[in-house]
Amino acid sequence: MATLTGLLALAPAALAQSTSGSMSKTTTKTTSTTSTSKLSASDSKFVKEAAVGGMEEVQLGQLAAQKASDPDVKNFGQKMVDDHSKANDQLKQLAAQKGVTVASTLPASKQKEVDQLSKLSGAAFDKKYVSMMVQDHKKDVAEFKKESTKAKDADVKSWASSTLPTLQDHLKMIEDISAKMHPTKSAKKGK
């Protein structure tokens, strides 16, 4: 993935160097269009939704790092803060480059989820947080898989592709935590 990202980043420069005189103006215009082009409606929607989702992951992760009673849940929450903060920063740069305005605060529906979770504590908090993270990461993995192959913009496709393995790791981690917390459910799945 990193190799693909690196190649995509170098492609415009290589293309610009390989052209001569009369082609330079066309190439410059094309390169400029690639980096600041208007996104398709579906790519723009993905970027905006990913920004909101990432912001929510950070806030929920902060709650888990503070309030979880299970050390694995607490550690997972901190990992969400660290990983999603990094991804959010990358996405903000990409959005700015593409002229897409992303939300700086959670929409009311997402804030309500954060507020409801913040009222829980102990095992009830852990159970609800883990359930939310399993559902959310299943959805995220599916969306990022789709965008990593179907995005119209090469930069959006590259970001989705490079972020996907982290989300897949998160899903596996939270499913393992869930199975450990609910051993009878995982035993039933195996049958």
Q: What is the pTM of this model?
A: 0.76
Q: What is the pLDDT of residue 183?
A: 77
Q: What is the pLDDT of residue 16?
A: 40
Residue 63 sits in a domain of what CATH number?
A: 1.20.1260.10
Same domain, 12 and 87: no
Low-confidence ranges of the chain (pLDDT < 50): 1-35, 186, 191
Q: Which domain holds residue 25?
A: 1-34
Q: Report pLDDT digits (tens) over 127-152.
A: 999 999 999 999 999 999 999 999 99
Same domain, 77 and 16: no
Q: What is the pLDDT of residue 184?
A: 72
Same domain, 8 and 44: no
Q: What is the pLDDT of residue 37?
A: 63
CA distance 128 to 181: 12
CB atoms inside a 10 Å sphere around CB 77: 24
Same domain, 29 and 41: no
Same domain, 81 and 92: yes
Q: What is the pLDDT of residue 38?
A: 85
| Tokens standing for residue 85 | 């903060």
Task: Give the chain's domain count.
Answer: 2
Q: What is the pLDDT of residue 185?
A: 57
